[in-house]
Amino acid sequence: MKRLRVNEDIRPLSEVRTGIASFVKQVHDTKRPLVITQHGKGVAVLVDAGEYEAMEERLELLQDIQTSVSQIEAGQGIDHADAKARVLGRIRK
């Protein structure tokens, strides 16, 4: 996802209500999120569907990495040679 441009990508809810189609097009074309404000505070973010899916995939990968780190720190990991032997053993069967 591209970085937010403060002067272009933050809009009040009242403006979004009247021109939602153009904002959806903007988000799709630029691949940048649109922050929607209400009473001067951010309340929602409009994101391109493809960009959202990519964010979800990155988040899942980061969670998997964190789980792996936690498991290693808890002594649940195995060394490289053992892992390699297990994988090769499964392939050969």
Q: Note the pLDDT of residue 93.
A: 66
The domain segmentation of the chain, as residue ranges, is 10-47
C-alpha 67/C-alpha 49 separation (Å) is 27
At 29-62, the pLDDT tens digits run 999 999 999 999 999 999 999 999 999 999 999 9
Q: Note the pLDDT of residue 88.
A: 93
CB atoms under 10 Å from CB of 42, counted, come to 10
Q: Note the pLDDT of residue 24.
A: 96
CATH assignment, 10-47:
3.40.1620
49-88 burial: b if 16+ Cβ within 10 Å, else e: eebeeeeeeeeeeeeeeeeeeeeeeeeeeeeeeeeeeeee
3-class DSSP state for residue 15?
Answer: helix
At 55-87, the pLDDT tens digits run 999 999 999 999 999 999 999 988 899 999 999
